[in-house]
Structure 1
Amino acid sequence: MKLILASTSPYRRTILEKLCIPFSCAAPNIDETPLKSETADELVQRLAAEKAQSIAKSHKGLIIGSDQVAFAKGTILGKPGNKTKAIEQLKMLSTETVTFYTGLSLLDSDTGRQQTMVETFDVTFKQLSVAQINRYLDLETPYDCAGSFKSEGLGIALFSSLQGRDPNSLIGLPLIALIELLTSFDIDAFDYMQPA
């Protein structure tokens, strides 16, 4: 099995490495602009599928596409990109419950078969002061992360509770769902695992 992750995200790469299955990474080339009136669920499904399809044009194998957004107070939150936007996001998220939508798509480039699904994960934030927000952002600079935090790092100090079936989905790649997709393609992940 040749497994390809349609992402250059170091976070997704690190998560996938947990399975001890050899894989390569390739950068998808797609427009990630949301469509008019597209829901968070629809957006991540579409982008995950398109990322996998983009890689299938030049690579052969099983291709994993994934995309994530945060949704709170009726707003889709992407990556802040800079400290000013991260401060705005975290001030808005203080005491709120945020739903993270992670789209996951598996595409067999040989057969064209593709399955796409969405995993959700809820995060409830503590009440955060401006000083706490600034200190956190100075320490971790999570400007390339949806919602302006890294749950696998210091971001855990921002939360009062987490709820979801797979904490990996919060970081950007739901492994439980990926193993389920592989199984639906008649692939047993254990057959490809190698010693770390």
Structure 2
Amino acid sequence: MKLILASTSLYRKTLLAKLCIPFSTSAPEVDETPIIDESPGHLVARLSLAKAQNVAAHQLGVVIGSDQIACVEGVILGKPGHFERAYEQLAFLSGKTVTFYTGLTVCDALSGKSETIVETFDVTFKSLSTKQITRYLELETPYDCAGSFKSEGLGICLFSRLNGRDPNTLVGLPLIALMELLTKFNIDVFDYMQTTNE
């Protein structure tokens, strides 16, 4: 099995590495512009499929594509890029529940078969003070993360509740769903797991 992650995201690469299976990465070339009136679920499903198919068109193997957005009160949250925008986002999120939509596609380049699912995960924020937001941003600088936080780091201090079946979904690659999709391609990850000393 040649497994290819259609992403150069360090976060997704780190997540997939948790399964201890060999894989390579490849950057997909996909226009990620939303279609007018496109729902969050449709958007991430479409883009995860497009990313997987783009890489599968150039490389043989089983390709994993993923795309994620965060949405609250109908507003899609992007990556803030800098402190001021991150502060605005977290102040807006204070006391609210954010839904993360993650599209996940597995595509076999040889047969052209693909399977796509959408996982959701809800994050409810505490009521945050100016001091708490400022201190968090100073310590973690999550400016490349949608929603301005890293759930796998200090971001956990911002939350009052998490609701979803796989916390990896928050970081961008739902591993439980991935293993389920791989079984549809007759791939059992346990057959490919390697310890670090192998």
TM-score > 0.5, shorter chain as reference: yes
1:60 is displaced (CA, Å) by: 0.9
1:76 is displaced (CA, Å) by: 1.2
User: 2:179 is aligned with what amino acid?
Assistant: I
User: 2:102 is aligned with what amino acid?
Assistant: T
Give the Cα separation in 1 of the matches to 2:194 and 2:20. 5
The match for 2:84 is 84
Larger CA deviation: 21-30 vs 75-84: 75-84
User: 1:113 is aligned with what amino acid?
Assistant: K
1:78 is displaced (CA, Å) by: 2.1
Give the Cα separation in 2 of the matches to 1:25 and 1:90. 32
The match for 1:62 is 62
Moved over 4 A (4+): none
Give the Cα separation in 2 of the matches to 1:81 and 1:38. 24
The residue correspondences of 1:176-191 to structure 2 (distance < 5 A) are 176-191=176-191
TM-score (norm 2): 0.96
The match for 1:9 is 9
SS in 2 for 1:88: helix
The residue correspondences of 1:45-194 to structure 2 (distance < 5 A) are 45-194=45-194
Percent identical pairs in the alignment equals 66
Give the Cα separation in 1 of the matches to 2:28 and 2:86. 25
SS in 1 for 2:161: strand
1:184 is displaced (CA, Å) by: 1.1
1:57 is displaced (CA, Å) by: 2.1
User: 1:62 is aligned with what amino acid?
Assistant: V
User: 1:148 is aligned with what amino acid?
Assistant: S
1:139 is displaced (CA, Å) by: 1.1
The match for 1:31 is 31
User: 1:30 is aligned with what amino acid?
Assistant: V
1:133-187 deviation per Cα after TM superposition (whole angstroms, max 9, x unaligned):
1111111111111111000001000000111100000110000000000011111
User: 1:109 is aligned with what amino acid?
Assistant: A
1:38 is displaced (CA, Å) by: 0.7
SS in 2 for 1:98: strand
TM-score (norm 1): 0.97
Give the Cα separation in 1 of the matches to 2:120 and 2:54. 24
SS in 1 for 2:121: strand
Give the Cα separation in 2 of the matches to 1:66 and 1:20. 19
Gaps of 5+ in 1: none
Give the Cα separation in 1 of the matches to 2:89 and 2:45. 23
Gaps of 5+ in 2: none
Give the Cα separation in 1 of the matches to 2:106 and 2:81. 28
